[in-house]
Amino acid sequence: MTDQPLPPVPPHPEPPRQAPSSNARLGSRALAVTVSVLGGIALVVPAAGTAFATVASASFDRSRDTVSADAAGVDLVDLTVPAGSMTVRFDDVDEVTLDAPSAARWSLVRDGSSLVVDRGNLTSLFGIGAWGDDGNAILTLPRSLEGVDLDVDLLAGGADIEGDFGAVVSEVDAGFLDIEGSADTVEARMSAGGSSYDLADVQSASFDISAGGVSADFTGEAPEAVDVTLSAGSLDLTVPDETYAVTTSGDFGDVDNGLDTDPSAPRTIDVTTDAGSVSLSAG
């Protein structure tokens, strides 16, 4: 018998190729996005670090600047304290001087007969202010300006003022204001925070207090008229030991009157309270 050759085996067909699944495509895209984001972060972080280093370097600048202004013809000292602290004193000098940290951006300018002291923009990169800098400024006035009018606007921080003034107008939104010396008149408005007025020879005074605490100690010549409007908060008022015509009104609030009173007295104190407390005492 003759062997017959076997017929050739037909090749097996290759299975059809499948398109990548949606999960595989998403994984690839996610990997690409991740790599891209990480690359972006790698570029941004050094730049941000450089920016923060620059801001920190400027913010911790401890150098101080001194500027001056002519005092001739000044009849008003106008102070705005948005933050930090302000100290005001009279001394034996010829010009007005302002000594302040360089980074705090305090300014001293003449505006006609007004001397204007203010502080510039307090924010920097990313809204961050002057780190490590309390913004303390020292304003020195010549004694030739004693009796000048004073206008103080305290938004935050503190102001320590000493001297003899004419009309004193103050508005405190926050922080603490301390005025010591003498004044002809006082007009004080308080929204929050605290203030102290230790003044001699005040002829008239008005206090409008929405919140916060006010202490006023008037010495020397007794005031002719004092008006108090208290929405909330407190007022502790001490006046020279004289006889006063005291009137009080308001549905709420507490008035502690320790003064010698007479409805016909020429010196008057009028108190209106919605809430809070008022203390009247003789010094």
Looking up tokens 């004693």 gives 146
Nearest Cα neighbor of 136 from 93, 95, 105 is: 105
Average pLDDT estimate for 235-243: 98
Q: What is the pTM of this model?
A: 0.76
pLDDT at 102: 85
pLDDT at 87: 98
pLDDT level of residue 158 (50, 70, 90 thresholds): very high
Average pLDDT estimate for 12-28: 47
pLDDT for residue 9 is more than 70: no
Task: Identify whether the C-beta of residue 206 lies closer than 8 Å to the C-beta of residue 227.
Answer: yes
Which residues touch 18 (CB under 8 Å, ≥6 apart)? none
Task: Identify whether the C-beta of residue 186 lies closer than 8 Å to the C-beta of residue 199.
Answer: yes
What span, in angstroms and rounded, lies between the C-alpha atoms of 182 and 17? 98
Encoding tokens for residue 172? 């405190």
pLDDT level of residue 248 (50, 70, 90 thresholds): very high
List the domain boundaries for the chain: 166-283
Amino acid at 51: A
pLDDT of 111-123, one tens digit each? 999 999 998 655 4
Distance of CA 120 to the CA centre of its chain: 12
Q: What does the chain come to in residues?
A: 283
